[in-house]
């Protein structure tokens, strides 16, 4: 690792989808600080500032060298005044006083605690905070608060699902779901996606894409898998969303956070005996199982590549792919399709490589998408 940018270094693109970002982050000391600031801005609805800091963090994550001076960053994109001021502080004092202040802030800590519960977003967390609640027991003893099913299960399994999921646990879950899928149809295709596909060692959940070459059967396949897992007694919670996918309504002009494919948000019971290296981080090691959050999404086969690209992330990588498509190519990209606005036509893809090629982008491997 160099402490200065190599002299003949190519310019760093402002688009995350034109950078190669592995899980090795040489500038964690800065990017962790930016993330704290971004979270605070996010909960105060200061979206632009939040995005600005996330972009700055993403650029630093892509560097094969550790920043040791502000001068070495003058050629880098997306580093605004605020980001540079924070870096300056960290370079001089080893930490940012602004970040330290936020970390010790009661509101920040409480919001972080409440939103760590499955089913609790910033709005609910803020509502509870404004009611004066500061701990889980404050919330759980307030009889005027009605928890939905998802939140009830979030609290019920909090210990397990707030603990990171290991790669070995993700693999074990994959084999459990794969067995169920193949018992239903030998044609089932199950792909591990999300952070684990990008090579991360740990994740907060496990994401899968499920499909079948039998067009139109993907949704019932997903429903049948759920039934089977339930029968096996390993489904602790299931929030199912049926498909609202309608080819005739594409392309969707305004990007929505969620795609329209059939999907489910699960809490699954994972037996220790199924995990090669045993369960991750269980104190005392007396438990024979743990609860894990699992997402399963089921697009029709001819939209598989788009869904895979979208669900593989990272969030910033996807965001910049869509932005690059829109700004540089006059195209609309989302988890469903790619549309050329100039030619008024959809561009088909069976692999992710097809999509990068349509966009005129160099292919970036999943493990290089940790932007
Ligand atoms: N995603 C999406 N639509 C959603 C939610 C997520 O397209 N409604 C994408 C963006 C993410 C990927 O799916 O990169 C997986 O989402 P996660 O929140 O599970 O993120 P990661 O898997 O990248 O991280 P973690 O390791 O924390 O699970
Ligand atoms: Mg994930």
Domains of the chain and any CATH numbers: 16-102 (1.10.150.110), 107-148 (1.10.150.20), 165-304 (3.30.460.10), 308-368 (3.30.210.10)
**Secondary element (H or E) of residue 295:** strand 289-298
105 among known catalytic residues: no
C-beta separation of 243 from 210 below 8 A: no
- Confidence at residue 45, expressed as pLDDT on a 0 to 100 scale: 85
- Confidence at residue 238, expressed as pLDDT on a 0 to 100 scale: 98
Q: Which ligand is nearest to the CA of 317?
A: 1
SS3 286: coil
Structure tokens at 21: 């970002």
**What is the biggest distance separating any 2 CA atoms in the chain, rounded to whole angstroms?**
64
DSSP assignment of 324-348, as one string? HHHHHHSEEE-SS-EEETTTTEE--
SS3 42: helix
- Confidence at residue 1, expressed as pLDDT on a 0 to 100 scale: 47
Pocket test for ligand 1, best of 173, 174, 198, 207 (most atoms within 8 A of CB): 207
Ligand 1 center to residue 207 CA distance, Å?
Answer: 7
Q: Is 295 labelled a binding residue?
A: yes
**Secondary element (H or E) of residue 352:** helix 352-358
246 among known catalytic residues: no
Ligand 1 center to residue 371 CA distance, Å?
Answer: 13
In this structure, the residues whose C-beta lies within 6 A of any atom of ligand 1 are 194-195, 200, 203-205, 207, 257-258, 310-311, 313-315, 318, 335
Query: Which atom of ligand 1 has the smallest separation from the CA of 198?
Result: 23
Question: Which pTM was predicted?
Answer: 0.95
Query: Which atom of ligand 1 has the smallest separation from the CA of 257?
Result: 8
Angle between helices 47-61 and 28-43 (to 10 degrees): 160
Angle between helices 122-130 and 106-115 (to 10 degrees): 130
Ligand 1 center to residue 68 CA distance, Å?
Answer: 32
Q: Do the strands 289-298 and 206-211 form a parallel or antiparallel pair, or are they unpaired?
A: parallel
Structure tokens at 245: 């996918």
Residues of the chain with pLDDT under 50: 1
Going from the C-alpha of 328 to that of each of 21, 187, 206, the distances in angstroms are 21, 38, 33
**Secondary element (H or E) of residue 191:** strand 189-193
Query: Which atom of ligand 1 has the smallest separation from the CA of 200?
Result: 26
Choose among 162, 192, 199, 146: nearest CA to 280: 162
ipTM score assigned to the predicted complex: 0.94
Choose among 244, 250, 259, 261: nearest CA to 345: 250
Pocket test for ligand 1, best of 195, 199, 322, 334 (most atoms within 8 A of CB): 195
259 among known catalytic residues: no
C-beta separation of 362 from 18 below 8 A: yes
**Secondary element (H or E) of residue 298:** strand 289-298
Question: Which of 141-161 are b and which e, b meaning 16 or more Cβ less than 10 Å from the residue's Cβ?
Answer: eeeeeebeeebebbeebeebb
In whole angstroms, give the CA distance from residue 74 to residue 243: 47
Q: Which ligand is nearest to the CA of 312?
A: 1
Cβ count within 10 A of residue 331: 21
**Secondary element (H or E) of residue 354:** helix 352-358
C-beta separation of 281 from 164 below 8 A: yes
- Confidence at residue 6, expressed as pLDDT on a 0 to 100 scale: 60
C-beta separation of 338 from 347 below 8 A: yes
Q: Is 205 labelled a binding residue?
A: yes
- C-alpha gyration radius of the chain: 22
C-beta separation of 163 from 281 below 8 A: yes
């Amino acid at each position: 690792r160099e402490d200065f940018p190599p002299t003949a270094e190519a310019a760093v693109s402002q688009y995350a989808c034109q950078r190669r970002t592995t899980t090795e982050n040489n500038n964690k000391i800065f990017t962790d600080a930016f993330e704290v600031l971004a979270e605070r801005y996010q909960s105060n609805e200061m979206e632009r500032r939040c995005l600005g800091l996330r972009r700055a963090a993403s650029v630093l994550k892509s560097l094969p060298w550790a920043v040791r001076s502000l001068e070495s960053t003058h050629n880098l994109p997306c580093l605004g005044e605020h980001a540079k001021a924070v870096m300056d502080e960290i370079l001089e004092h080893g930490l940012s006083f602004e970040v330290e202040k936020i970390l010790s802030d009661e509101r920040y800590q409480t919001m972080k605690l409440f939103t760590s519960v499955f089913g609790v977003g910033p709005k609910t967390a803020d509502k509870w905070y404004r009611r004066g609640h500061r701990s889980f027991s404050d919330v759980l003893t307030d009889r005027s608060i009605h928890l939905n099913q998802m939140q009830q299960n979030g609290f019920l399994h909090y210990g397990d699902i707030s603990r990171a999921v290991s790669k070995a646990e993700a693999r074990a879950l994959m084999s459990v779901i794969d067995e169920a899928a193949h018992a239903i149809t030998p044609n089932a295709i199950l792909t591990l996606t999300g952070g684990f596909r990008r090579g991360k060692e740990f994740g907060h959940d496990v994401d899968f894409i499920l499909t079948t070459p039998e067009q139109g059967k993907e949704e019932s396949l997903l429903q049948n898998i759920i039934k089977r897992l339930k029968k096996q007694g390993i489904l602790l919670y299931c929030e199912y969303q049926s498909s609202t996918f309608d080819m005739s309504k594409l392309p969707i002009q305004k990007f929505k956070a969620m795609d329209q494919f059939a999907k489910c948000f699960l809490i699954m019971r994972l037996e220790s005996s199924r995990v090669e290296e045993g369960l991750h981080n269980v104190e005392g090691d007396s438990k024979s199982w743990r609860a894990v959050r699992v997402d399963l999404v089921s697009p029709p086969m001819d939209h598989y590549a788009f869904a895979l690209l979208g669900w593989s992330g990272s969030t910033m990588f996807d965001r910049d792919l869509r932005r690059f498509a829109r700004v540089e190519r006059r195209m609309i990209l989302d988890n469903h399709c790619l549309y050329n606005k100039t030619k008024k036509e959809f561009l088909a893809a069976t692999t992710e490589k097809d999509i990068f090629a349509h966009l005129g982008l160099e292919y970036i491997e999943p493990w290089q998408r940790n932007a």
